[in-house]
Amino acid sequence: MSHPRSASMGRLLVLLGVLLCGGAAAQTVTLSGSMGDKALLVIDGTPRMVAVGATLHGVKVVSVNGNDAVVELAGKRVPLQLGGAPVNLGGGVSDGTGSQIVLTAGPGGHFITGGSINGKPVQFVVDTGATMVALSQADADRIGLNYRNGARGMASTANGNVPVHRTSLNVVRIGDVQVFNVEAMVVPMQMETILLGNSFLTRFQMKRENDRLTLDRPRARRGRGGHVCGIIGSAACHGRDRARKHDRAKTPAWKSRRRPVGAGAERWT
């Protein structure tokens, strides 16, 4: 006859073995891309390719359809959108304090992802040749961007010189990562997607491996008085950044040291 304590200990060991085999349950999940019937999920910050019907770290992929997927977390089905905010086990949205973005190349080798500007959903395409984030007036109007009072200038593009407005985006978010005070320009031409230029990309360390692009946010630096300055910096850091922008705005003309969209340089007044 077995001792009750021994039997209970045995059941506990069996349960522990099942949990260890299944792996730890995921806390946050993001859809970063898809390939056929497989979804590229970022589970707790780590990219994983998971096929429909398979389960990894408690996340089961139910369906994959282009830029959308449905996963099952703790028995609850949750829709995911490409580049959207991560969800946790309770189906809630994360707070945007992540540090890594993982993208997969689409048709033509372009890195396209969903995201948001000032909380409004948009579609981005990575463009390392763009000086800053660039969007059309139609997109700017759609998301309620107040750009018409910004600095006006000319930009040389593949379609020739065009008049543009310079503005600042309060927050740009992709997945679990958000970046504040991102410089942008608004162009009058129609654009299928918003160009994710260097005003956003240079906030990260970029690494490409085959068809995968990883953006890692460096550690925050410390400013005066010990304030932490980074993507989510203190008010003191943001105030210093605003002062720098004010000093730069006092010059009659500003020329970018980087190449903008297409050939040539921008001129601002």
Beta bridge partners of 50: 39
- Element housing 11 (H / E): helix 4-22
What contacts 101, CB < 8 A, 6 or more positions away?
32, 113, 174, 175, 177, 204, 214, 215
* Amino acid of residue 41: L
| Mean pLDDT score, 249-253 | 42
- Looking at the chain, the whole-number percentage of residues with pLDDT higher than 70 is 65
Residue 118 has a pLDDT of 92
Instruction: Give the other-Cβ count within 10 Å of 99's Cβ.
Output: 16
Matching residue, tokens 């033509």: 108
Does residue 234 register a pLDDT over 60? no
Give alpha helix (H) positions in the chain: 4-22, 137-142, 198-201, 235-249
Average pLDDT, the chain: 74
Residue 23 has a pLDDT of 45
Looking at mean pLDDT, say which of 107-111, 134-138, 261-265 comes out highest.
Answer: 134-138
Instruction: Give the other-Cβ count within 10 Å of 60's Cβ.
Output: 16
Q: What is the pLDDT of residues 185-212, one digit of tens each?
A: 999 988 989 999 999 999 999 999 988 9
Supply the pTM of this predicted model.
Answer: 0.59
- The DSSP call for residue 211 is T
Strands 120-126 and 194-196: parallel
Pairwise CA distance, residues 195 & 185, whole Å: 10
Does residue 142 register a pLDDT over 90? yes
Residue 253 has a pLDDT of 39
